[in-house]
Structure 1
Amino acid sequence: MRKILVVDDEAVLIEAIAYNLEQSGYQVITAMDGMSGLELARKENPDLIVLDIMLPGMDGLEVCRQLRREDRTATVPIIMLTAKGDEIDRVVGLEVGADDYVTKPFGRRELLARVRALLRRADYPVSLEDRSSTQDASTDKGGIVPPRSELVAGPLRIDQAGRRVNCRGQELELQPKQFDLLTYLVRNRGTVLTRDQLLHNVWGYDYAGDTRTVDVHVRWLREKLEEDPASPKLIQTVRGVGYVFRS
């Protein structure tokens, strides 16, 4: 059973989130302040964290920042809860390492969809190409078709099954959504992809046109992949359109 940590200081909201997640088959643990949430994340090793930004004591941004610095929690998917219309909080949340965010107030189905999408991609990423190419393939006993094992593009070697990336002989530490975005770009190398295409195919649901999410993740990838992030050679911007991976 997947374990989800929910951190929020509103008792009614945290109870509602926990109830809906439990009804969907998840084990839920909760905390009502940042420090307690951080300690539970370290102790319980959750599969995913739902984290409010506005928390007493240590806020959600600092909790996220600290989790990303520690080996055991560096790649756990994090969904941040933000106030309606608070774009600065959303962008800063992505900057410090959150994988996704949900704006309050939100519906039960929206949160569950994002939880499922992140957990699915944490298991292994499946792009549209992989879905179509493996539909008729034989499956293992668990019914899962593994993606093609390795992608090689220029200085990159991507182990899809192991979710590892090696660049110029050095293994990189990528967060789940960074790995998914890079893998999708490499699979479609040479093809200019719009931000909306990337949102749809990598994030897997309607992201309300918030294309800054893509820009932030691309900047992260460039800092880790490019020899000179200010003059990228691998992930290039096509002005007014989107991005293209060139190897």
Structure 2
Amino acid sequence: MSDLIESVRPDALPPALVLIAEDEAEIADILAAYLQRSGLRTQHATDGHEALAMHRALKPDLVLLDVQMPRADGWKVLSEIRSSSDTPVIMLTALDQDIDKLMGLRLGADDYVGKPFNPAEVVARVEAVLRRTRSRAPVATQMLRVGAFQVDLENHEASVQRDGQQHALELTLTEFKLLACLMRTPKRAFSRAELLINCLPEGDSQERTVDSHISKLRKKLEALGIQGVPASVWGVGYRFGNEP
């Protein structure tokens, strides 16, 4: 953990989330292990329909997309993703033919890897694509929406809808960062160390300081009748919690 704390600035982007859309569990597990070892977060979809649902819900930074998947193949998934999003997509396929590569690129794929592949090479390709796309789309241009909550990262404004009205949240910078971090992946449990690194000022070094800021954030939300946000995760830390 000490190496992670030294290498990540508190105001840096959170680790990129990679959605692995692959129906072969062994391949998905290998890719996830290599990606996580490189500091990336992963989620796994086992078929095309699940991949689209997880893409809509999680808004990953990149999708590793297998062509031959049940329920909806990779071409269909890629087409659906491109109809509403510019999320980077790297195609994974056993079909090592130029026509398939051309189809993927025409549909908007960012890269193409044929099976069998070297997982380390896949990680290198993922990191290269992320460097390009994340530099083009800084966090400040994003708008986060989860349930009734809305966070404008460019203008540092947060609000929540209650009883048909949008209520502005008067948050400190640290409270704002905590809320935004939890909203990025609302189902994920973050440790105090992760929140300390990503959300608190550089001078703060105590994990328990996170508890104080979370408590103050909760009280502001409770004043609007919102309970359980952020939610405590016993033995881990916090997740976004219940949606009002």
TM-score when normalising by structure 2? 0.49
Higher relative contact order (CA 8 A, sep 6+): 2
Larger gyration radius, structure 1 or structure 2? 2
Normalising by the residue count of structure 1, what TM-score does the alignment of the two structures yield? 0.48
